[in-house]
């Protein structure tokens, strides 16, 4: 019987500009790691969390690792005991899918510990339960790419219909994480309930264009489609320097850019590593000119998603 397992789940960029709540992709640069050790008595216990500066809850009902595993055990109607050790590789409230990476790494590990009762994609509903607890919304555009890797479309939530999209060769992502936190719940609170018909038309055209661009490997089409008229205009006011950074990234050769998830991290897509690096330098200059520190990462798109590191 497997006694202990360790799994990793990558950071993610949700929305990808035009795909509010329905598109996301995974990146290689960083992620969360979860180790599980089987206990003799039933019950989930979050034993330790590293890398969170003491900010995250150890309480099982509030930690996304435990919430996700509990949802899985409820579905199986099993009472297995596990000790959970979480290592955060992702900054909190950053817009890089931090709560999602914890939940997904925990599910990948728990599924292995239990002898793989679920196919990978069938772990998604449990991860969505955990997102509800962390940010008040059952959105899947972080958990789905973190689990499956690559670009993922959530065509529908009821019932869940998730489609993995192709990743063109040579597509790079640059992430710009300015030094402040923005909670997903706060960033959702500025959005509007209703959108004008003309915005719906523009947004649908861009989502369709982005998906066609990914299938065709057409970088120009991807570039034209990276536009968001639904969330970005309202969220940009929460993001100092947003429009200046956008101009600088365009000049540096970005195919397009946008808010990563609910921000404050911004993402840019580019063709090739050199442009990704040039984008990073351009962004640092802008942030420095407005007195904000920024961490910069660039990475290929992660196509593998969550994976097992070891089992004993
Ligand atoms: N393992 C965890 N358990 C409980 N809460 C977590 C966990 N990891 C992160 N969180 C919290 O979840 C909340 C929601 O956001 P999260 O950090 O996922 O947003 P984010 O990283 O900004 O990403 P995004 O905007 O892409 O969802 C934050 O307050 C964060 O501190
Ligand atoms: N689609 C979600 C992602 C949050 O990470 C939002 O934009 O609020």
- The string of pLDDT tens digits covering residues 20-47 is 999 999 998 899 999 999 999 999 999 9
Q: What share of the chain is helix, strand, coil (3-state, %, to 5)?
A: 40, 30, 35
**What is the predicted pLDDT for the residue at 130?**
96
**What is the predicted pLDDT for the residue at 137?**
80
Residue from 20, 23, 182 whose mutation best tests the ligand 2 pocket (most atoms within 8 A of CB) = 20
Residues 123 and 217 in one domain: no
- Shortest CA distance to 174 belongs to which of 29, 300, 298, 302? 298
Q: Is the CB of 91 under 6 A from ligand 1?
A: no
67-77 confidence digits (pLDDT tens): 999 999 999 99
Burial 76-108 (b: 16+ CB within 10 A, else e): eeeebebbbbbbbbbbebbbbbbbbbbbbbbbb
Report the alpha-carbon distance of residue 24 to residue 181 in Å, rounded: 20
Q: Is the CB of 99 under 6 A from ligand 1?
A: yes
Q: How confident is the model at residue 136 (pLDDT cuts 50, 70, 90)?
A: confident
Task: Answer whether 134's CB lies under 8 Å from 126's CB.
Answer: no
| Residue 125: pLDDT over 90 | yes
Provide the CA 110 distance to its chain's centre, in angstroms.
Answer: 20
Mean pLDDT of 238-265: 97
| Residue 263: pLDDT over 90 | yes
Number of domains in the chain: 2
| Residue 206: pLDDT over 90 | yes
**What is the predicted pLDDT for the residue at 181?**
87
Residues 20 and 41 in one domain: yes
Ligand nearest to the CA of 230: 2
Q: How confident is the model at residue 138 (pLDDT cuts 50, 70, 90)?
A: confident
Take atom 7 of ligand 1 and give the residue whose Cα is closest.
Answer: 99
- CATH at residue 25: 3.30.230.10
| Residue 183: pLDDT over 90 | no
Sheet arrangement for strand 266-271: 256-259, 266-271, 171-178, 294-300
**What is the predicted pLDDT for the residue at 55?**
95
- CATH at residue 249: 3.30.70.890
Mean pLDDT of 172-197: 93
What would the 3-class secondary structure string for 244-304 be?
HHHHHHHHCCCCEEEECCCCCCEEEEEECHHHHHHHHHHHHHHHHHCCCCEEEEEEEECCC
Take atom 24 of ligand 1 and give the residue whose Cα is closest.
Answer: 95
Q: Is the CB of 139 under 6 A from ligand 2?
A: yes
Mean pLDDT of the chain: 96
Residues 274 and 151 in one domain: no
| Residue 185: pLDDT over 90 | no
Measure 3 CA to ligand 2 centroid, in angstroms.
36
Percentage, residues of the chain above pLDDT 90: 93
What would the 3-class secondary structure string for 65-103 be?
HHHHHHHHHHHHCCCCEEEEEEECCCCCCCCCCHHHHHH
Percentage, residues of the chain above pLDDT 70: 100
Report the alpha-carbon distance of residue 189 to residue 13 in Å, rounded: 19
Start-to-end CA distance of the chain, whole Å, equals: 9
Q: Is the CB of 264 under 6 A from ligand 1?
A: no
Task: Answer whether 134's CB lies under 8 Å from 64's CB.
Answer: yes
Measure 95 CA to ligand 1 centroid, in angstroms.
8
Distances (CA, A) of 295 to 60, 266, 283: 31, 11, 10
Distances (CA, A) of 133 to 66, 83, 217, 238: 11, 20, 37, 23
Residues 202 and 213 in one domain: yes
Residues 101 and 113 in one domain: yes
Helix (H) or strand (E) holding 165: strand 160-165
Reply yes or no: is the peptide bond before residue 267 cis, omega within 30 of 0. Answer: no
Distances (CA, A) of 43 to 26, 116, 137: 31, 19, 26
Residues 27 and 129 in one domain: yes
Residues 20 and 132 in one domain: yes
Q: 209 in helix, strand or coil? A: helix
**What is the predicted pLDDT for the residue at 294?**
96
Q: Is the CB of 99 under 6 A from ligand 2?
A: no
**What is the predicted pLDDT for the residue at 79?**
92
Cα angle value 85/266/105 (rounded, 5°): 20
Residues 177 and 154 in one domain: no
Domain coverage including residue 271:
171-299
Distances (CA, A) of 95 to 145, 205, 268, 274: 14, 25, 14, 24
Residues 10 and 154 in one domain: yes
Report the alpha-carbon distance of residue 85 to residue 102 in Å, rounded: 10
Ligand nearest to the CA of 263: 1
Measure 263 CA to ligand 2 centroid, in angstroms.
8
Residues 10 and 135 in one domain: yes
| Residue 111: pLDDT over 90 | yes
Q: How confident is the model at residue 232 (pLDDT cuts 50, 70, 90)?
A: very high
**What is the predicted pLDDT for the residue at 204?**
98
Residues 26 and 117 in one domain: yes
Q: How confident is the model at residue 87 (pLDDT cuts 50, 70, 90)?
A: very high
Residues 139 and 206 in one domain: no
Tokens of 49: 């969390």
């Amino acid at each position: 019987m497997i006694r202990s397992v360790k799994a990793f789940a990558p950071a993610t960029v949700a929305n990808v500009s035009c795909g509010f709540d329905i598109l996301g992709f995974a990146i290689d640069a960083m992620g969360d790691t979860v180790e599980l050790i089987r206990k003799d008595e039933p019950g989930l216990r979050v034993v330790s969390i590293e890398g969170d500066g003491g900010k995250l809850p150890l309480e099982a009902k509030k930690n996304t690792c435990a919430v996700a595993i509990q949802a899985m055990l409820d579905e199986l109607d099993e009472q297995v005991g596990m000790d959970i050790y979480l290592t955060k590789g992702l900054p909190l409230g950053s817009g890089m899918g931090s709560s999602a990476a914890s939940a997904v790494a925990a599910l990948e590990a728990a599924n292995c510990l239990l002898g793989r009762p679920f196919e990978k994609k069938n772990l998604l509903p449990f991860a969505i339960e955990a997102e509800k607890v962390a940010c008040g919304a059952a959105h899947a555009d972080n958990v789905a790419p973190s689990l499956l890797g690559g670009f993922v479309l959530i065509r529908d939530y009821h019932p869940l219909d998730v489609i993995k999209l192709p990743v063109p060769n040579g597509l790079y992502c640059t992430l710009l994480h300015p030094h402040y936190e923005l909670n997903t719940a706060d960033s959702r609170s500025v959005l509007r309930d209703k959108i004008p018909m003309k915005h719906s038309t523009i947004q649908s055209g861009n989502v369709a264009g982005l998906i066609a661009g990914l299938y065709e490997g057409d970088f120009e089409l991807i570039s034209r489609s990276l536009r968001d008229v639904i969330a970005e205009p309202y969220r940009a006011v929460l993001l100092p320097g947003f429009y200046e950074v956008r101009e600088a990234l365009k000049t540096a050769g970005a195919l397009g850019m946008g808010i990563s998830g609910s921000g404050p991290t911004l993402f840019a897509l580019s063709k090739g590593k050199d442009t990704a690096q040039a984008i990073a330098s351009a962004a640092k200059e802008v942030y420095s000119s407005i007195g904000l520190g920024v961490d910069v990462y660039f990475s290929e798109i992660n196509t593998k998603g969550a994976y097992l590191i070891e089992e004993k």
